[in-house]
Amino acid sequence: MSLVDPVLQGLVDSLNAAYGLCLDDGRLEEWPEFFVDDCLYQVIARENVDNGFPAAVMYCDSKGMLADRVVALRRANVFPEHFSRHLISRAVLTAVDAHVVTAEASYAVLQTRNDGETRIYNAGKYVDRFLVEDGAAMLMSRTCVYDTHRIATLLATPI
Amino acid sequence: MSLVDPVLQGLVDSLNAAYGLCLDDGRLEEWPEFFVDDCLYQVIARENVDNGFPAAVMYCDSKGMLADRVVALRRANVFPEHFSRHLISRAVLTAVDAHVVTAEASYAVLQTRNDGETRIYNAGKYVDRFLVEDGAAMLMSRTCVYDTHRIATLLATPI
Amino acid sequence: MSLVDPVLQGLVDSLNAAYGLCLDDGRLEEWPEFFVDDCLYQVIARENVDNGFPAAVMYCDSKGMLADRVVALRRANVFPEHFSRHLISRAVLTAVDAHVVTAEASYAVLQTRNDGETRIYNAGKYVDRFLVEDGAAMLMSRTCVYDTHRIATLLATPI
């Protein structure tokens, strides 16, 4: 392994850490701010990816759709109260091209429901493209490819 | 996301990594050395924090109390033998003020008990203040805000 | 905590991140490439290490043996299909001596089997020696010391 640009590495890893805490703190309204306006966010089963079936269980192709999703979660959806907790690995930067960085990071989302126990809710990897400009990074696209194909509760909050 | 000072980021993340290994290795006597003399260490349920009830299940407000706690664990407490394993996320630095850094990091403590299986024992986040002087960091305060409100065994060893 | 060399820290952490993704992506043939030719890879129970019994459940003392192991896994072994997911902590560098870095990092390997649920398969720590030359790092030895002494399925794929 050779060293990648430590500044890019730090930007990507810091975004991922802040992204996880944002969701785990329940600050859903801040979540779209990690993305550029013309973004892509999708959640898709690893089995589907491996077999060439691109059907996603969640698909948003603009920041506006992400914001709508948050409104829906706040106003309309009914789901059992829970806490989430993201554990996100150091990213592997797979390509750097001008202002665009592609990277992958493994994640596990733990969930604590009313019974007070903490379980693994969803594990997988983020397959990402980041826009890096003026010393700051934003998500152009995030594809959550999940291993956990039996999901215990409604996929309510973002991964 | 803009880049924070990579030196401060590295100091905080390295302290957290060493902190986790220290506890997981069972080197309890070294644990107070991560803290300044006039420190605060507490463990508190997220539900309590969210509802404004500040009652902690563990509260130590000096390094001496941490050392006492270790002696008590070694001499007096009876608890089933187990291994612990900390997974700690990259920290999010929330403020930097002269020599004081405030930061948060998600954690999960896994536990392996006599049956040989590894379970999630406690997950949550560290809410921390670090003193940074002469190129070294120490904990001024660590508040472990835990999601897991049903704790399977006595909260014996530090989080 | 004082700051270690950020370049060495980055090399070790990036190798660990890439190592985890390589195995989780099922790119087993690339796995030996993380090691030097004259390497050591072993998997050993923490109980054995603590009690001075050095018997490993997996022991490979050359890159060729690692490659053989991969061939065996592909051709001969029968094990239930599953996905793995590594979560690896930031490394703690314990010694730096010319071109050799010793380090430890906690890990958890999650596993998703046919029922679609994700469980903790194996947790422990990597005890490693890295060769660092020409701005690149490789594994001279990796000892996986695992906490999880009841292993649900055959220890088929590398940790």
Tell me, yes or no, whether C94 lies in a domain: yes
- CB contact residues (below 8 A), chain B span 118-137, against chain A: 120, 122-125
Interval C95-132: pLDDT, tens: 999 899 999 999 999 999 889 999 999 999 999 999 99
B57 touching A (Cβ < 8 Å): no
The pLDDT of residue B96 is 94
Higher pLDDT, residue B111 or C149: B111
Contacts of C104 in chain B (CB under 8 A): 21
Q: Taken in order A13, A15, A17, A19, is the CA torsion positive or negative?
A: negative
Radius of gyration of chain B (CA): 16
Tokens of C130: 């890295």
**Mean predicted confidence (pLDDT) in A31-39:** 98
Tell me, yes or no, whether A154 lies in a domain: no
Q: What is the value of pTM for the model shown?
A: 0.95
Tell me, yes or no, whether C157 lies in a domain: no
Round to whole Å and give the CA distance between B121 and A77: 30
Ramachandran area for residue A155 (φ above 0: left; ψ -120 to 50: alpha; else beta) = beta
Contacts of B13 in chain C (CB under 8 A): 90
The pLDDT of residue A152 is 57
Q: What are φ and ψ of residue A83, in 5° steps?
A: -105, 145
3-state secondary structure C13-80: HHHHHHHHHHHHCCCHHHHHHHEEEEEEEEEEEHHHHHCCCCCCCEEECCHHHHHHHHHHHHHCCCCC
Whether B76 shows a pLDDT value over 90: the answer reads no
For a pLDDT cut of 90, what percent of chain C falls above it?
72
Higher pLDDT, residue B3 or C47: C47
The pLDDT of residue A13 is 98
The pLDDT of residue C80 is 60
For a pLDDT cut of 90, what percent of chain B falls above it?
72
Question: Of A67-71, B1-5, B73-77, C91-95, where does mean pLDDT reach its minimum?
Answer: B1-5
Alpha-carbon distance C113 to nearest alpha carbon in chain A (angstroms): 9
Contact at CB, C2 and B90, closer than 8 angstroms: no
Whether C138 shows a pLDDT value over 70: the answer reads yes
3 state SS of A149: coil
Number of domains composing chain A = 1
The pLDDT of residue C78 is 61
Interval C69-105: pLDDT, tens: 999 888 866 666 789 999 999 999 999 998 999 999 9
Instruction: Provide the domain limits for residue C141.
Output: 12-146
The pLDDT of residue C108 is 98
Band of pLDDT at residue C147, cut at 50, 70 and 90: very high
The pLDDT of residue A125 is 98
Tell me, yes or no, whether B131 lies in a domain: yes
The pLDDT of residue A80 is 60
Tell me, yes or no, whether B41 lies in a domain: yes
Interval B87-100: pLDDT, tens: 999 999 999 998 99
Q: Are B135 and C3 in contact (CB under 8 A)?
A: yes
- What is the residue-averaged pLDDT of chain B? 91
Band of pLDDT at residue A2, cut at 50, 70 and 90: low
The pLDDT of residue C114 is 86
Whether B1 shows a pLDDT value over 70: the answer reads no
Whether B152 shows a pLDDT value over 60: the answer reads no
Which of C6, C17, C112 is opposite residue A91, by nearest beta carbon? Answer: C17
Q: Percentages helix, strand, coil for chain A, rounded to the nearest 5?
A: 30, 40, 30
Whether C41 shows a pLDDT value over 60: the answer reads yes
For a pLDDT cut of 70, what percent of chain B falls above it?
91
Contacts of B86 in chain C (CB under 8 A): 89, 106
Between chain A and chain C, the number of residue pairs with CB atoms below 8 A apart is: 82
Interval B45-68: pLDDT, tens: 998 898 888 888 899 999 999 999
Strands of chain A (E only): list them. Answer: 35-45, 58-60, 83-88, 92-97, 100-112, 118-133, 136-146
Q: Are A87 and A111 in contact (CB under 8 A)?
A: no
Band of pLDDT at residue A59, cut at 50, 70 and 90: very high
**Mean predicted confidence (pLDDT) in A84-106:** 96
Tell me, yes or no, whether A16 lies in a domain: no
Strand duo B35-45 + B136-146: pairing: parallel
Whether B84 shows a pLDDT value over 90: the answer reads yes
Tell me, yes or no, whether C119 lies in a domain: yes
The pLDDT of residue A114 is 86
> Which residue, chain included where needed, has tokens 């594994």?
C139
The pLDDT of residue C98 is 86
Top mean pLDDT of A147-151, B34-38, C132-136 is at B34-38
Q: What is the CATH number of the domain that holds C117?
A: 3.10.450.50
Contact at CB, B112 and C87, closer than 8 angstroms: no
Question: Of A13-27, A38-52, C142-156, where does mean pLDDT reach its minimum?
Answer: C142-156
Tell me, yes or no, whether C159 lies in a domain: no
